Chains A and B, each alone.
Chain A
Amino acid sequence: MRGITKRYPGVLANDGIDLDVRQGEIHALLGENGAGKSTLMNILYGLAVPDAGEILLDGKPVTISGPHDAIDQGISMVHQHFMLVPVLSVAENILLGEEPMAGRVFLDRAGSHRRIRELGERFGWEIDPDKPVGSLSVGWQQRVEILKALYRNARVLVLDEPTAVLTPQETREIFGVLRALRAEGYAIIFISHKLYEVLEVADRITVIRRGKVVGSRIPAETNEDDLAELMVGRNVQLTVDRGESHPGEPTLVVEDLKARDDRGHEVVHDVSFEVRAGEIFGIAGVAGNGQDELVEAIVGLRHAAGGHVTLDGRNVTGASPRHLHQQGLAFVPGDRHRFGLVLTFPLTDNLVLNDYYHTPFANGLQRNDEAIEANAEEAVEKYDVRTPSTTVTAGTLSGGNQQKVVVAREFEGTLKLLVLDQPTRGLDVGSIEFIHRQAIARRDSGVAILLVSAELDEVLELSDRIGVMFRGRMVAVLDGRSVDREAVGLLMATGGRGGGTQPQTIEESA
């Protein structure tokens, strides 16, 4: 790709970007959210038309008119959010849109199944083409996505943050796959903002900032700090200096809590733990092991099917979100678009979403716009929300700034317990650093913090103690400062030796 320029109203998304990817190479594309990675890949995949520049394939200029055209020319993309139909089988998903015909009417099932098996065997995967995709683990679903690309004779493979949803073990396996693909001569573009992964797997690294290529590196000649600085444009502290914590009395006590999912199945089984004032308790686990339901039951958004929740000595089982909020509970939800924000509302309204009804934001039934606006101005200033004004709708902000709005709302006021669910999902290093610092500051002021994250590194980095969730149970509580990354990963993936029935406690004697 040469001199790619793409202008959107108000922004120069790509500004003369050059990128070359060779056969048999893993080329990492690194950049913050909004740096222009996605735009560049959309252009490569035919989803956007560049204003200037050209794409060369095997030395010849090509025009790519759409995803179909891209696939025909051998370019395939594995999206961060899998484009799979859960109820269809592996084979059906792979064939979707490219159905092989035997004759005019019938699908060539036998032939295509054989080809899928053969493709899988090349990487040592035992693939059952008839299995529904929904029954596969996330790691295997990703392999199906990769097979889909290979089945279509891709030569250039773009992977958009492929490790965001994987455990460390799965990540290592997928890196093995990428290396195998490299050995077979595929050209691979690997998009990520996890620096150590990029250093581990890539042959070359191109860093993009504000639509421009700001540097190219070879892993052997760089390190995480160097890459982070290139990405953000300033010196970034990658691991927050978490300092000493001084845990006090238990603020949140959860006893034998049970919760059901939306379909009525019990997905949280007798979970017990406590979070003390001034400590960060992290919950690690592969997404979908009951963490969402556990958190929702604690913050009052889901009915607890059994057990007790005690906040600061008071029984708050089944209390409403408003009551809990008044008791000093703040909650940064994992799905900020669903719970955390009203995207069509201005920032001013979003910043008072749970305090709109009392003074100073309302006098009786009448809203006090002056106070609401002043509050917004202050929050935007204090939490460094990058926005043209406080009256733009939340939907117009980038993900990182949206999250800052949520954080600005929840981190203020008199707090006792702060529940952080995936607080940095999808954010760039600059925003992550900021939010981590804020969390540490609240911890130091004596707030109890419950941190739930699918990002194991985040849990490891911040937590004083770590609980591991597996299939709805808390299978272990570990000391956060001495714990071994691999051990947590193994617990996340298997639930421990007994398959997750026996809680395993390796806690320091306190």
Chain B
Amino acid sequence: MRAALERVRSVAVLPAVAIGLALVVGAVIMILSSPLVGGFDLTLPLTAYQALAVGAFGSGNALVSTLVNATPLVLAGLAVGIGFKAGLFNIGAQGQFLIGALSATIVAIALNGASPAVAIPLSLLAGMAGGLAWGFVPGFLKAFTGAHEVVTTIMLNFVAIQIVSYVISGPLRGAEVTFARTDNIVAGELPILIGRDGHLGLLLAAVAVPAAWWLLYRSTIGFEIRTVGANPDAARYGGMQPKWITVLAMSVCGLLAGTAGAGEILGEVGYMPASYGTTVGFDAIAVALLGRAHPVGILFAGLLFGGMQAGAGLMQVQAGIPVQMVSVLQAVILFFLAAELIVRRVLRIRAPGTGVEAELETVSRSYGEQTSL
């Protein structure tokens, strides 16, 4: 038990430090820019952070709002995190998210007259299948042609954007809408479970976290995924099939990101616009890195980022700090995570031997040498 706690501490210390440092940098920016708002004010950061915290966690509604914001981040964060474990840098969560959203929309619109009991599960399944397909393609290309997943997933993101744009402004464009979007989803709309907008998608994320943990750490498939990620040669030696495991891992990633997309459309938005201006798939990379590619870490990282998004509004109202400050904070957190060595040196933290190194190694390896399967 003590050993387990010690492990958690050693893994969590750096993300915690990165968050702390980001808050300090954010505070400096606020103080320096305070003359522009209402005169030089040393206490402005306190006001702002307090409003941010209250807006995120201060009331029942705030909490539900945090959960709703965190849901797609957690699901897509798992899509990136499982990729890291398999030695893959999945930049394509965004595309997988969009295709998942689109597939769910198509089925939901088609089933608008059906009973929710039919429409909801089928729409969700369609979203999962769409995301899975969008993850399968780069996985297959990586395994059997050596095409690098960083390149293919980035390109597939653009393909996904164009497909969404075409389908929504063409065949699926709603009859009674003023801009390019679908009709409202009726039967496929996810039921609200708690609060004002706490929809069924929350439950999906809540199930996905332990499921991903079981898959990675308790199942033989997860052992294969992690072995391939850590040392593909040793995986081959151990009788595993790195090519198919790569395909499988990318497909699971796609499935999770697709679920996130389906949940957003069916539970939160209620229709699909032709240009869906979300950045969930990219924020997910930050979430996965902050969560050290561990499902539980990703859960907390997703809750943190979701909370910041939920509280940003109140921060703007009470402290006059624009909501974009939240993006700055997220960026600075990511910066300090990536600059891990500097942080270590400055704070004299000893290397824990596990954690971000492996994930960042995946990132840098993805850019550099080609890993053969």
Question: Which residues of A line the B interface, CB within 8 A?
Answer: 301, 320-322, 325, 331, 333, 338-345, 349, 353-354, 356-357, 362, 365-367, 393, 396
Known contacts being A356-B220, A362-B220, A366-B219, is A344 close to B358, with CB within 8 Å?
yes
Contacts of A366 in B (CB 8 A): 218-220
Whether B220 lies near A301 (C-beta < 8 A) is no
**B25 within 8 Å of A (CB atoms):** no
B240: chain A residues within 8 A (beta carbon): 322
Q: CB of B179 within 8 A of chain A?
A: no
Write out the residue numbers on chain B whose beta carbons fall within 8 Å of the beta carbon of A349.
223
How many angstroms between the C-alpha atoms of A1 and B282 in the bound complex? 57
Complex interface: chain B residues within 8 A of A353 (CB): 227, 234, 237-238
CB distance from A356 to the nearest CB of B (A): 5
Given contacts A321-B239, A353-B227, contact A365 B234 (CB under 8 A): no
Whether A354 lies near B238 (C-beta < 8 A) is yes
B220 touches A341 (CB 8 A): no
Q: Which one, A320, A333, A344, contacts B239 given CB within 8 A?
A: A320
Given A356-B223, A365-B220, A366-B218, are A340 and B234 neighbors across the interface (CB < 8 Å)? Answer: yes
Please name all residues of chain A whose beta carbon is closer than 8 Å to the beta carbon of B223 when the two chains form the complex. Answer: 349, 356, 367
**B41 interface hit (Cβ, 8 Å):** no
With CB as the reference atom, state the residue of chain A lying closest to B372: A262
One digit per residue, 1 when the CB lies within 8 angstroms of any chain A CB and 0 when it does not, for chain B 343-373 equals 0000000000110001000000000000000
**What are 7 of the A-B contact pairs (CB < 8 Å)?**
A339-B237, A341-B234, A342-B227, A344-B230, A354-B237, A356-B238, A365-B221
State whether A338 and B238 are in contact (beta carbons under 8 Å apart), knowing that A349-B223, A356-B220 are contacts in the complex.
no
Complex alpha-carbon distance, A343 and B226, angstroms: 12
Smallest CB gap from B227: residue in A = A342
- Residues in A whose Cβ lies below 8 Å from that of B227: 342, 345, 353
- Chain B residues within an 8 Å CB radius of A331: 237
Q: Please give me the residue from chain A that is nearest to B228 by CB atom.
A: A342
Residues of A within 8 Å of B353, CB to CB, are: 393, 396
* 4 shortest interchain CB distances as A-B pairs: A322-B239, A353-B238, A339-B237, A354-B238
Q: Name the CB-closest residue of A to B3.
A: A391
> Which residues of chain B have C-beta atoms less than 8 A from A340's C-beta?
234, 237
Number of B interface residues in the complex (CB < 8 A): 19
Given A320, A341, A367, which contacts B218 in the complex, CB threshold below 8 Å? A367
Let me know if A339 and B234 touch, CB within 8 A.
yes
Q: Which residue of B lies closest to A324 (CB)?
A: B239
Q: Report the minimum CB–CB distance from B122 to chain A (whole Å).
A: 27
B33-48 near A? 1/0 per residue, CB < 8 Å: 0000000000000000
Please state if B239 and A342 are interface contacts (CB–CB under 8 Å): no
Q: Is B231 an interface residue (CB 8 A)?
A: yes
Contacting A at CB under 8 A, from B187-242, are 218-221, 223, 226-227, 230-231, 233-234, 236-240
Give Cα A321–Cα B241 distance, bound, in whole angstroms.
10
Q: 6 extra interchain contacts, Cβ-Cβ under 8 A, other than A320-B239, A342-B227, A345-B230?
A: A322-B239, A341-B231, A357-B220, A366-B218, A366-B219, A393-B353
Q: Nearest-CB distance from B274 to chain A (Å)?
A: 41
User: Given A356-B220, A356-B223, A362-B220: A321 and B238 within 8 A (CB)?
Assistant: yes
Most buried by A among B221, B239, B358: B239
Within the complex, the shortest CB–CB distance from B33 to chain A, in Å, comes to 43
A325→B239 contact, CB < 8 A: yes
CB distance from A142 to the nearest CB of B (A): 28
Residues of B within 8 A of A338 (CB): 231, 233-234
* Distance A357 CA – B227 CA, assembled complex (angstroms): 13
When chains A and B are docked, how far (Å) is the Cα of A362 from the Cα of B231? 21
Contacts of B354 in A (CB 8 A): 344, 393
Expressed in whole angstroms, the Cα–Cα distance for A353 and B231 within the complex equals 11
Q: Answer whether A367 and B236 are a contact pair too, CB < 8 Å, given A344-B230, A353-B227.
A: no
**Which residues does chain B contribute within 8 Å of A365, judged by CB atoms?**
219-221
A393: B residues at CB distance < 8 A: 353-354
Q: Which residues of A contact B231 (CB under 8 A)?
A: 338, 341-343
Report A486 CB to chain B, min CB distance, Å. Answer: 36
In angstroms, Cα B234 to Cα A245, docked, is 33
Q: Which chain A residues border B219 with CB–CB below 8 Å?
A: 365-367
CA distance A340 to B230 in the complex (A): 12
Bound together, the chains give a CA A352 to CA B221 distance in angstroms of: 14
With both chains docked as a complex, state the minimum distance between the C-beta of A301 and any C-beta of chain B, in angstroms: 6
CA gap between A333 and B238 in the complex, in Å: 11
Closest chain A CB from B369 CB (angstroms): 14
**Closest Cβ of chain B: how far from A390's Cβ, in Å?**
12
**Residues A301 and B237 in contact, CB atoms below 8 Å apart:** yes
- Write out the residue numbers on chain B whose beta carbons fall within 8 Å of the beta carbon of A341: 231, 234
Cα distance, A90 to B219, chains bound together (Å) = 53
Partner of B237, one of A333, A343, A396: A333
Cβ–Cβ contact B230 & A321, under 8 A: no
Separation of A316 and B234 alpha carbons in the complex (Å) = 21
- Name which residue of chain B comes closest to A325, CB basis: B239
Q: Is the CB of A342 within 8 A of B220?
A: no
Please, which residue of chain A has its CB at the minimum distance from the CB of B361?
A344
CA distance A396 to B354 in the complex (A): 12
Closest to A392 in B: B353
Residues in B with CB closer than 8 Å to A322 are 239-240
- Are B358 and A342 within 8 A (Cβ)? no
* Complex Cα–Cα for A353 and B236 (A): 10
Rounded to whole angstroms, the CA-CA distance of A366 and B230 in the bound complex is: 21
A254–chain B nearest beta-carbon distance, Å: 20
**Shortest beta-carbon distance from A380 to chain B in Å:** 17
Which A residue's beta carbon lies closest to that of B353? Answer: A393
CA distance A367 to B226 in the complex (A): 14
Residues of A within 8 A of B358 (CB): 344
Q: Give every chain B residue within 8 A of A333 (Cβ-Cβ).
A: 237
Chain A residues closer than 8 Å to B220, beta-carbon distance: 356-357, 362, 365-367
Which residues of chain A come closer than 8 Å to B236, judged between CB atoms?
301, 321, 339
Query: A322–B218 Cα gap in the complex (Å)?
Result: 21
Closest partner residue, chain B, to A341 (CB atom): B234
Kindly state the separation between the CA atoms of A321 and B233 in the bound complex, as whole angstroms. 12
Q: Which residues of A contact B238 (CB under 8 A)?
A: 321, 353-354, 356
CB distance from B90 to the nearest CB of A (A): 20
Q: How far is the CA of A357 from the CA of B220 in the complex (A)?
A: 6
Tell me how far the C-beta of A377 lies from the nearest C-beta in chain B, rounded to whole angstroms. Answer: 16
A367 partner residues in chain B, CB cutoff 8 A: 218-220, 223
Shortest beta-carbon distance, A48 to chain B, in Å? 18
Q: State which residues 258-310 of B face A: CB under 8 Å.
A: none
Q: Which residues of chain B from 7 to 51 have a CB within 8 Å of any chain A CB?
A: none
Report the Cα distance A321→B239, complex, angstroms: 5
**Chain A's nearest CB lies how many Å from the CB of B235?**
8
Q: Give Cα A365 to B221, complex, Å.
A: 7
The CA of A6 and the CA of B30, in the complex, are separated in Å by 48
Smallest Cβ-Cβ distance to B226: which chain A residue: A345
B234: A residues at CB distance < 8 A: 338-342, 353
Bound complex: CA A272 to CA B236 (Å): 26
CA distance A344 to B357 in the complex (A): 11
Is A339 in contact with B239, judged by CB distance below 8 angstroms?
no
- A92 and B219 CA atoms in complex are apart in Å by 53
The smallest C-beta distance from A321 to any residue of chain B, in angstroms, reads: 5
